[in-house]
Amino acid sequence: MKAPLYWVNIDLKRIDHNIKQIKRLQRPDTKIIAIIKSNAYGHGILPVALQAIKSGVDMLGVVNAREALDLRKKGLIRPLAVMGAVAKEEMVELARQKVSFMVHNRRSLLDAVAVANIVRQRINLHLKLESGINRLGFSVEEALTAARTIERHRYLTLEGIWTHLASVEELNKSYTKSQLFQFEKLLVKLRKAGIKVDRIPYVSTAASAAAMLLPESRFNAVRLGIAMYGLWPSRGVQAWTKKELHSKKIHLKPVLRYRTRLVSVRRVPAGVYVGYGCSFQTPKPMTLGVVPVGYAEGLPRSLSNLGFMLLKGAVVPIVGRVCMNMTILDISKRPQSKPGDEVVIIGRSKSKEISATDVADWAGTINYEIVTRLPESIPRIYTN
């Protein structure tokens, strides 16, 4: 397809740049787990995986067995961990494909033990601690019991221990410190139980925000997600990072651009209604342009009469409701535009730029959601 009507550009050089930016903040021996779950946050799982490996990460993290096994089928043989819940039936194939996976409660641990007894080969497990987000994970005492079970089993290896911090992106250090206390409490108990914590390859509490802001959260591994894609975990994290001496020089480069083309241009008089529900009425004669992207192509419907795009360096507002596959723009600032002209949804046009974070702000959500919800069917063009 030489000239698609909408497409996403992915600059893999920027993946490399962003990984190196975060690495600068870590100790030389800190391991990097590149999080490529959910189609690499919408960026394309295999190309991003290959670039992350090329950039020197130690492990890849996915969310489910399907992602892991698809990567294995495509020939990826590097260390890979499933960081979401796994069914017992999936554990068998993950074990055979040498994919690590997480246990987070008694049921998942018993399933892993049963599978190890069946396949009779080494299985690497990651133990998840519930430290305060109240989602998945063992309590401290449960985690201690689980670790002992893993250590005693002939075919099980404790490859990782980790937890999720709930409020680093909101800069709530007091709550984060309470979670880190729970994590360190577990490590102390493990050492007292004779488990050699220092030999566990992946001990991790830090995702992108903590990896940049909290040296005390890094232990021997960090999980690099949103920052790898050149997006800040929050505007607060971005501002705070610039204030901190150790992180003020960090510069992230957005990896993704999203563009489309005009498919229709029309001049309309004042007083006509635009789009479904007659939610917009032209206050004056206007030039309207239609682009062939809507909420099925990842554009939030909440941007109806609210969001913006870029056309030839001009900011052009969305008018009317975002449709399933089309969106109408007020292009009166560029009335000579014609079908085929490029429109920027995320990215730069001359001196103007719209970021995924801008789109998220208008839509009342977060940049993670904006990029992750871009359908896999959208053509992606990779440069490196």
**Nearby residues of 199 by Cβ (< 8 Å), 6 or more positions away:** none
Is the separation of the CB atoms in 347 and 259 below 8 Å?
Answer: yes
**3-state secondary structure (DSSP) of residue 347:** strand
Give the relative orientation of helices 106-119 and 88-96 as an angle to the nearest 10 degrees: 50
| 368 tagged catalytic | no
Q: Is 98 a catalytic residue?
A: no
Cβ contact 224:20 at 8 Å: no
Query: Catalytic residue among 173, 177, 276, 350, which?
Result: 276
CB within 8 A of 29, min separation 6: which ones?
A: 220
Whether residue 46 contacts residue 76, with contact meaning beta carbons closer than 8 Å, is answered with yes
How many Å is the Cα radius of gyration of the chain? Answer: 24
Q: How many Cβ atoms from other residues are within 10 Å of residue 271's Cβ?
A: 10
Nearest to 130 by CA among 146, 115, 110: 146
Give 280's strand partners. Answer: 274
Indicate which residue of 6, 37, 128, 229 is catalytic. Answer: 37
List the catalytic residues.
37, 276
